[in-house]
Amino acid sequence: MTSSNKTTTTDTAPQTIDASTLKAWEDNHDDLMVIDVRSGAEFDSMHIKGSYHVPLPLLSEHTEEFAAKMGTRVVLVCQSGNRAEQARKHLDAVGLGSASVLAGGVPAYAAAGGNVVKGKNTWALERQVRMTAGSLVLAGVVGSKFLSPKLGLLAGGIGAGLTFSAATNSCAMGQMLSKMPWNRSANEPTAHQALQNLGAKA
């Protein structure tokens, strides 16, 4: 993301930006760094050209190290904005308050005509969470009717988990699913590799 007419600025970035703002920044700021915090399979499926892949679990475990490699204009992206917001809070907690979150994630950027790289299609993690949670609730309700009333507790447990997830803006089920083989990629970076990639930009 370079251009001979770009400028560098250190002004305070907003916490959330839209796709059109990101596209404008690509054309006017040579300090821009786009960080994709999704799983490897999601990144391989479609990502913003020139973005850096730093899965949320890696960023969460090595926040200070990644923050030290990031510049003055950082945009965090995921599928919808939820995981990117979690990443922003991690970075803000260690003193990097200049990161912004792309509203609507990579799909919104692609819909706005942004330059994306597409690969093998895969379900987004948020969709997998909805399918898993819905299937477990359905199994609990049906099982409580035909097998044992105690299976109804499964549906209640999933409901409580989703309520807690919404209240805390976290998702234990999503974190678990992100570690499944189908959500990982042969190109999944280690913390060392991701830090090296960011260092090359800096």
Tell me: the pLDDT tens digits for 35-72? 999 988 889 889 999 999 999 999 999 999 999 999 88
**Residue 87 domain-assigned (yes or no):** yes
Total tally of structural domains belonging to the chain: 2
The reply to whether 70 and 115 lie within a common domain is yes
The reply to whether 34 and 94 lie within a common domain is yes
**Residue 197: which region, alpha, beta or left (left: phi > 0; alpha: psi -120 to 50)?**
alpha
**Residue 101 domain-assigned (yes or no):** yes
Percent of the chain with pLDDT over 90: 43
Indicate the burial class of 135 (C-beta count within 10 angstroms; 0-12, 13-18, 19 or more): exposed
Q: Quote the domain boundaries for residue 132.
A: 125-178
Look at residue 2 in the predicted model and tell me its pLDDT: 42
Tell me: the pLDDT tens digits for 108-147? 999 999 999 987 666 666 666 777 777 777 777 777 776 7
Instruction: Please tell me the pTM assigned to this model.
Output: 0.66
**Residue 116 domain-assigned (yes or no):** yes
The reply to whether 45 and 131 lie within a common domain is no
Tell me: the pLDDT tens digits for 77-117? 999 899 999 999 999 999 999 899 999 999 999 999 999 99
The reply to whether 112 and 151 lie within a common domain is no
